[in-house]
Structure 1
């Protein structure tokens, strides 16, 4: 429910009065998660200056920033990540423009001010994508001027990129590991590193700023990196946080998987520990009309747009036309924002930009490209993909007509290395002496498991052709079937098998 409208004088006065109150008791110290350890709450005396930073509840728990477009009677835009605006549920490579919005933005969510927050509904996703950038602009109900009249401070988007070594401030509303009342605006001091090309899961992002911002956990997505004026107030948004390696376990899964982004250097993936990344936003203000504040994508607008989308495809395989760990063949299904023709080419990752180069498609065959249908209705052009047998990352490039700047880049990995973790399982005993065996998963390194079992001394653990797929239900072994031997091996997402693990289970 949206809060009632109150005057800007009352709103800011209430904040300043609360700043003089006794601070709430300090929370219990959080575990030491390195750079992901929660940052300190934003002091109440700074809330007015940073009042444009919102807790954004849309398709995820995120953060966003009210954008100063210079047009008070124009739309009220909030800048955030694409994965905060629904892109995790859309087609890969899709660009969304002018879709219905859901959720709300909560202003003034600061420690000591939880009874005086202010909400506005999200009514439109003006722009959103995870193709080459993880960026979105969502529109709130009402106008920018209405919010500014309440004393809320919008922040302009920087025209130019910052520089490595610049000092910036991150303000966001992290939620992971925090109780409801501790999910408040928190401030962290940061230094920018170099801009990087990143991969994470199926996504490729260009120009992401490495940084050492503290407290980047779930909920921090979309939070701004702010350049401050000499008086300590926000001068411009220079980037928005979208991912981190801070706090990631070094013992679970593998690099470049979800929540473990990798930098790409000369086609090689490198996970850099305790590093966060923020999407470049420089120049996005030029995408908003100076007279109306509406999205226009005019000259100089840097927001990428794609018109070839992907129903399925990409991921890790062993090369050639071998299936992955769950039996899927390397294939891709392509659809268009509009119907047309498409050409494809498979290229080494390189700098990640080959799909935008006309030379990539020289001599490529043309195929009919159908128009996108409903999200879960597969209607696309399905093509087999024969991968090299050389380990590395590759892009399956797809261009509609001559629109090279809107081409798709579907990320494949060739992985021929066995899992670095052995297969394992937990053996539990029931009160009646029966045994339940539950294999462990550790994606992407152990993404699927095959097993067999039988009386001890009678089961052949070397005959892996006789193994069956483990689905969900653990094996139940009755007391009169003990002692027994349980054999299992795991496969990574690409389909590389581990060694067989043998578990002897005694009678008691």
Structure 2
């Protein structure tokens, strides 16, 4: 009876300390050791030369229930904190940087700094996870009473309460870990520029900001890691959905926008990657296991957004995938779908073909919306799909926009004190990706004439008073490179 009662008390603990979900992020001190269980979460500096490379990381328990710690210390963080390669895994790569443990409010002079040794494994292909080995072995950290966080063995249940403990930016005057609380809202497939993420955990914790990437997503009752904070729509606009820092969900083949939302990469299953305290990517059921590598052809350029066009007869013309690559396997198979998760199903893949110098150039469509190209590597025509193969396909996304005009240029035109003009274009991918301009004497320039336009990618343009009057012609181009109708502005003395 005493044992059962004690277990119930342990299960009933609220690591959120009674705070409501969605409440403002709470700065954590460690007075009287009350937050000792988060000493293993720290500020991660991967590249010491760049403040932008700051993330959060957590020391994980890699002992598989064993009392002795004979292996290295491993930090779990986001894959994008160490790599931006959307196609291949990174393995066993030396890295410089450090992590600061004991990163509590008011404790900056007594943090525990430990140097990074190598990126053991990292990916942003389907997941967003990285394991980094420290120079310091795990036992030495245990001797310092830094207790690693345990990995959950199962995904979150519906509406379960979650926590994020991390180091968001914006608190330079009071640095330290912060606790955010929210409920689990389900799993979603995401597209963010060239990145295609599958089954990410959706939630709305307050106070998440740059620097939160890599923060452990924790079960509020057990304090076990169930995911790693990856991306957010909190500082993005709906018009930029599916682009950089503006992840979109995929619903029925269509991109959907969820404002003020965060997404975390699942970490359940990672405990299967450790054998006797050491990372072993060949371990059965290891979720960071992949040997498939893709090399892109010289003519490759990302094509994440394309528009259906019309020929002279008004018939639709569809873009193609135009995907040149080679694999490190002898053969490959592929298919196209409207769901990224469907890439993990072995059904409807085409017959195997030679995987050297391939060009997949099938048309995309015919329906507007999001389309996915799924590629797996095989050794022969007869090879049966294995779990490893189907869990780690290469997935490429393309949004197919319906036929129609490109958004007109949007310019802010200000008169300068010396009499000239400052013209600043508004950029907003995918619709206002790049501008082209031309200008000259009003009677000598025809904005409808296509010749003479030059591209402009960023920043403002200045026109001196001595050149006035002046006709300014501009066009906006979307990510599919389709131009808008020309805009005409007269800049008068």
TM-score normalised over the length of structure 2: 0.81
Cα 1:65–1:476 change in 2 (3 A) is: closer
1:101 aligns with 2:91: no
Partner of 2:159: 165
Residue number among 294, 298, 316 corresponding to 1:309 in the alignment: 294
Structural mapping, 1:49-448, within 5 Å: 49-59=37-47, 60-70=53-63, 71-84=68-81, 86-88=82-84, 90=85, 92-175=86-169, 177-179=170-172, 181-229=173-221, 235-250=223-238, 253-289=239-275, 291-303=276-288, 305=290, 307-309=292-294, 311=296, 312=300, 313-319=302-308, 330-336=321-327, 338=328, 340-345=330-335, 347-350=336-339, 352-363=340-351, 365-368=353-356, 381-401=358-378, 402=383, 404-405=389-390, 406-416=392-402, 422-427=408-413, 432-448=418-434
Equivalent residues of 2:93, 2:118 under 8 A apart: yes
CA distances 1:173-213 after superposition (whole Å, capped 9, x unpaired) = 011x342x434210111211111111111112122111121
Shift of 1:167: 1.1
Equivalent residues of 1:47, 1:108 under 8 A apart: no
Shift of 1:412: 1.6
Q: What is the alpha-carbon distance in structure 1 between the residues aligned to residue 38 and residue 282 of structure 2?
A: 28
Q: What is the alpha-carbon distance in structure 2 between the residues aligned to residue 132 and residue 339 of structure 1?
A: 20
Equivalent residues of 2:28, 2:35 under 8 A apart: yes
Equivalent residues of 1:416, 1:496 under 8 A apart: no
Equivalent residues of 2:331, 2:353 under 8 A apart: no
Shift of 1:304: 5.2
Cα 1:49–1:471 change in 2 (3 A) is: closer
Q: What is the alpha-carbon distance in structure 2 between the residues aligned to residue 472 and residue 189 of structure 1?
A: 38
CA distances 1:257-278 after superposition (whole Å, capped 9, x unpaired) = 1111111122121111111111
Q: What is the alpha-carbon distance in structure 2 between the residues aligned to residue 55 and residue 202 of structure 1?
A: 27
Q: What is the alpha-carbon distance in structure 1 between the residues aligned to residue 70 and residue 352 of structure 2?
A: 49
Q: What is the alpha-carbon distance in structure 2 between the residues aligned to residue 202 and residue 306 of structure 1?
A: 21
Equivalent residues of 2:216, 2:227 under 8 A apart: yes
Equivalent residues of 1:169, 1:189 under 8 A apart: yes
Q: What is the alpha-carbon distance in structure 2 between the residues aligned to residue 194 and residue 202 of structure 1?
A: 23
3-state SS of 2:133 partner: strand
Q: Gaps (5+ residues) in structure 2?
A: 1-21, 48-52, 312-318
Q: What is the alpha-carbon distance in structure 2 between the residues aligned to residue 64 and residue 210 of structure 1?
A: 20
Partner of 2:26: 40
Shift of 1:458: 4.2
CA distances 1:10-69 after superposition (whole Å, capped 9, x unpaired) = xxxxxxxxxxxxxxxxxxxxxxxxx7x972211323332210111111152111111012
1:453 aligns with 2:445: no
Equivalent residues of 1:82, 1:136 under 8 A apart: yes
Report the RMSD for the aligned CA atoms in angstroms.
2.8
Cα 1:475–1:198 change in 2 (3 A) is: closer
Q: What is the alpha-carbon distance in structure 2 between the residues aligned to residue 306 and residue 208 of structure 1?
A: 23
Equivalent residues of 1:306, 1:408 under 8 A apart: no
TM-score normalised over the length of structure 1: 0.79
CA distances 1:322-354 after superposition (whole Å, capped 9, x unpaired) = 9xxxxx985223243x35333444x1323x134
3-state SS of 1:120 partner: strand
CA distances 1:88-130 after superposition (whole Å, capped 9, x unpaired) = 1x3x221122222221111111211011011111111111111
Equivalent residues of 1:243, 1:278 under 8 A apart: yes
Aligned residues: 441
Q: What is the alpha-carbon distance in structure 1 between the residues aligned to residue 123 and residue 104 of structure 2?
A: 29
Q: Gaps (5+ residues) in structure 1?
A: 1-34, 323-327, 370-380
Q: What is the alpha-carbon distance in structure 2 between the residues aligned to residue 128 and residue 428 of structure 1?
A: 47
Equivalent residues of 1:448, 1:490 under 8 A apart: yes
3-state SS of 2:100 partner: strand
Cα 1:314–1:278 change in 2 (3 A) is: same
Cα 1:109–1:203 change in 2 (3 A) is: same
Q: What is the alpha-carbon distance in structure 2 between the residues aligned to residue 393 and residue 187 of structure 1?
A: 35
Cα 1:248–1:301 change in 2 (3 A) is: same
Shift of 1:506: 1.1
Q: What is the alpha-carbon distance in structure 2 between the residues aligned to residue 426 and residue 136 of structure 1?
A: 43
Q: What is the alpha-carbon distance in structure 1 between the residues aligned to residue 93 and residue 442 of structure 2?
A: 61
